[in-house]
Amino acid sequence: MPRHSTRRRDAPDRVVPEVASLPADQRERRDRIVDAAVEMMIEVDYTDIQVKDIARRAGVALGTLYRYFGSKDHLMAEALLAWSSRFPADRAGTRAEGTDPATQVAAVYLTAAKAFERSPRVYGALMQVQASSDPRAAARFADFGHRQTAAFAGALDTLDDDIRDDVVVVMDAVLSEGLRRCQSGAVTRAVLRERIQRAAELLVSPARV
């Protein structure tokens, strides 16, 4: 996928404040914009999302929105991060006492797959933001990736550290590739679930754990 940005190459860089530096009223306004972006990301294909519509939904002027976000990609990267913040509690709920490791691993990644299945447009947004040339978007997307990896690892805390790290790397790849192929229509959701289950069984065998 080619790298892209929603801004012209010759556009001057926007200076946006650090979140920690904002007074409470401005932080609330910024949070409201991010919440509106999350709603739009779930409801509308990424290419059809207009920043002016996000501003309208958040109840702010377009100029106000651009005080906090340098571009559409930057804002949507923040929306992805906010959307992913729901995951750790959900994934913790997939664990059950006495489950074998393969079942545990599969349950964690099936939960993630189902989250994208419930909101399929989110994965399209993820792919667009991942390809962005906006450095702010890239930085926040990296934070999104770190949070996802930490959530997966935390939900698999019954595995030994060295095994868990290997499992997370491989299962992340299985999930990402499966979601990409689902997005393109190359495989069905049922096939993705089967591949997650099979990968978990192959990775977390009795010989490894």
User: Contact at 8 Å (CB) between 196 and 178?
Assistant: yes
Residue 83 predicted with pLDDT over 90? yes
The DSSP-derived string for the chain is: ---B-SS-TTSPPPP---GGGS-HHHHHHHHHHHHHHHHHHHHS-GGG--HHHHHHHHT--HHHHHHH-SSHHHHHHHHHHHHHTTHHHHHHTT--TT--HHHHHHHHHHHHHHHHHHSHHHHHHHHHHHTB--HHHHHHHHHHHHHHHHHHHHHTTTS-HHHHHHHHHHHHHHHHHHHHHHHHTSS-HHHHHHHHHHHHHHHS-TTT-
Residue 4, beta-bridge partner list: 132
Provide mean pLDDT across the span 142-160. Answer: 88
pLDDT tens readout for residues 184-193: 899 999 999 9
Which band of pLDDT confidence, cut at 50, 70 and 90, is reported for residue 11? low
Predicted local distance difference test score (pLDDT) of residue 148: 87
If one compares 179 and 157, the residue with the highest pLDDT of the two is 179
If one compares 109 and 20, the residue with the highest pLDDT of the two is 109
Predicted local distance difference test score (pLDDT) of residue 80: 96
Residue 20 predicted with pLDDT over 80? yes
Which band of pLDDT confidence, cut at 50, 70 and 90, is reported for residue 100? confident
Q: Taking Cα atoms as reference points, which of 80, 49, 195, 209 lies closest to residue 142?
A: 80
pTM for the model: 0.82
If one compares 33 and 161, the residue with the highest pLDDT of the two is 33
Residue 10 predicted with pLDDT over 60? no
Residue 17 predicted with pLDDT over 90? no
Residue 156 predicted with pLDDT over 50? yes
Residue 71 predicted with pLDDT over 80? yes
